[in-house]
């Protein structure tokens, strides 16, 4: 698969779905009034998408990998915030597991992409990837 746009990147697509789910659960009673946690988890989930997109648009492989590293860290941040949301009973165990597993999967996909990009010879703004998650 050749990435022509950041929207072609499966990790970005999954991060978009995760962000939608985070926004949905953070609208629920209790969670929506914990402004600090609500805003932080939303920002972290958006950061995954944004850093994948920004890194891709930078055009250089090294820069892309750097932005992917930030995106991966944001996936970890989402997982940490999900623990707080579970502990405060803002989300139930099923929601926690679904969202956490989604963040873990995205993190793994980003790691695979980072490894691939670090080992390719082509250094440009179009990336051909045969990465399995």
130 located within any domain: no
CA–CA dist 105, 29 (Å, integer): 28
Whether the CB-CB separation of 91 and 30 falls below 8 Å is answered with no
Query: Residue 81 is part of a domain; what is its CATH number?
Result: 1.20.1440.60
Neighbours of 102 (CB within 10 A): 22
Number of domains in the chain: 1
86 located within any domain: yes
Could you please report the per-residue DSSP string of 6-25? GGG-HHHHHHHHHHHHHHHH
Whether the CB-CB separation of 4 and 133 falls below 8 Å is answered with no
Residue 28 has pLDDT above 70, yes or no: yes
The H or E element spanning position 92 is none
Q: Where does the pLDDT of residue 60 fall: very low under 50, low under 70, confident under 90, or very high at 90 and above?
A: confident
Domain containing residue 97: 9-119
76 located within any domain: yes
Mean pLDDT, residues 7-22: 98
Quick: pLDDT tens for 90-131.
999 999 999 999 999 999 999 999 999 988 865 554 555 444
């Amino acid at each position: 698969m050749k990435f022509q746009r950041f929207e072609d990147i499966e990790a970005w697509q999954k991060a978009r779905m995760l962000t939608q789910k985070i926004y949905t659960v953070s609208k629920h009673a209790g969670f929506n009034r914990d402004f600090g946690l609500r805003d932080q988890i939303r920002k972290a989930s958006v950061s995954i998408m944004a850093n994948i997109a920004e890194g891709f648009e930078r055009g250089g492989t090294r820069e892309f990998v750097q932005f992917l590293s930030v995106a991966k860290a944001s996936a970890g941040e989402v997982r940490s915030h999900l623990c707080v949301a579970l502990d405060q009973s803002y989300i139930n165990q099923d929601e926690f597991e679904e969202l956490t597993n989604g963040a873990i999967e995205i993190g793994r996909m980003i790691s695979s992409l980072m490894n691939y990009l670090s080992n390719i010879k082509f250094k440009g703004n179009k990336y051909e990837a045969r990465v399995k998650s």
